Amino acid sequence: MLLLAGCDPGEREARPFTGRWESRGFGLYLDIHGGDVDIYEHTAVHCYPVAAGSARGISDVFSREGERLVLRDGSRVIEFEEIATVPERCVAPLDASPSSVFGITVASVAEHLLPAPGTAWLAEAEAIGSTLAAGATPAETHDALVAALSLLSDPEVRLAAGSGGVVPSWPAPPDLATALTARWEAVWAGRALVGEAAPGVAYVGFLRLVVEGADDQRALAAALDGALVGADAVVIDLRAASGGIEEAALQVATRFVPTERVVATLLARQGDGVVDAGDLTVTPRATGTFAGRVVVLVGAATSGAGELLARVLAELPGVTVVGEPSSGSPREPLVRALPNGWSVGIPNLQVIGPDGSEWVGTPLIPDVIVATTADDLEAGQDPGLEAALAEIGD
């Protein structure tokens, strides 16, 4: 929706969507008026304007379906219901004090995290927040937030200290990611690693599955296709892949699926229940499907888009999964802006596999269990990769 900002006026195009709207789940208000649109994020304790601009191009992503307004952005679907007005608090000055930032974070988690965190977490978080003094430093505020968010034990809950930061300030990248970066040549803006694991066996490792515009997509495509050309087999290393977005995971998967298919269904948190948030679909590339053997490496740090990709590939015939159980959090976080310029990522989705199984909270169990540590890699050994090559050789 942020793509709507900064374009030329589109009053005629926006006319069918004019009004005030509240999302089902996702904590969003829209105010579409004239040729402009204002976007707000909200919880029970705050309302924050996050974007405003021309509505030109709005019909590319929005449609009217009965009494509802529907946003389709890639595979994500968000439904909006019309409301009389956007609350007055949405245009009031926002308190950026440490206690306010902490309270908005806690409210955002309480309203959006799936599964819901429960009253015990709320009590513990509020106890941590009560220790913040009015003049708390940013470092003290950050430490309090990390202490509260750590209690959730979800690898896709993230805190970015600073506006627009790409790399989250918490949690820190896993040691294995650092070791893999040192071992292989970094490409694709430092988020992907490519090489040759053995003669005729390509290696493609991901740290974060992210695409940021057409240039980034081309860089990803070049890295992948360059690794796969002429290879008889490929090892896709997702042991350090945490974070990222669904679009990037699905883009990688297009090279391996033989036919178009729905690979998962998304449900979003709304109150104590869930609402439909769309299907994830993968269509094979026109250039054809990779015909060689595929082995996927996963581990405890595999989460977010990395785990989604692992699960999509694991469903394909002839794919072997090697390593340790994944985190059980294969979803992209909902990013909430905080009034001090920070942001928090909150996993608000349930991901349902094609067989109806729930992927969130259920780790992906490898076909072959093998543990690898950063110490192994520093010693010049990689038990997981060795096991993957053994599978290819069998």
pLDDT digits (tens, 9 = 90+) for 63-100: 999 999 999 877 789 999 999 999 999 988 889 999 99
Of residues 239, 244, 175, the one with CA closest to residue 216: 244
pLDDT at site 18: 94
**The amino acid at 215:** D
Strand 334-337 and strand 28-33: the pairing is unpaired
What is the fold of 2-91? Lipocalin (2.40.128)
Is residue 38 within 8 A of residue 48, CB to CB? The reply is no
Count the helix, strand and coil residues of the chain and give each as a percent rounded to the nearest 5: 30, 30, 40
| Of 269, 267, 254, residue with least CA distance to 114 | 269
Q: From residue 23, give the alpha-carbon distance in Å to each of 220, 268, 341.
A: 33, 11, 23
pLDDT at 215: 77
Whether pLDDT at 233 is above 70: yes
Residue with the larger pLDDT of the pair 391 and 189: 391
Residue partners of 259: CB distance under 8 A and separation at least 6 = 284
CA distance 346 to 332: 8
Cα dist from 239 to 58, 212, 251, 301, whole Å: 39, 22, 19, 6
C-alpha–C-alpha distance, residues 251 and 247, integer Å: 6
CATH number of this structure's domain 175-393: 3.90.226.10
Element (H, E) at 144: helix 138-150
Least confident of 8-22, 47-61, 344-358: 8-22
* pLDDT tier for residue 188 given thresholds of 50, 70 and 90: low
Residue 3 pLDDT exceeds 60: no
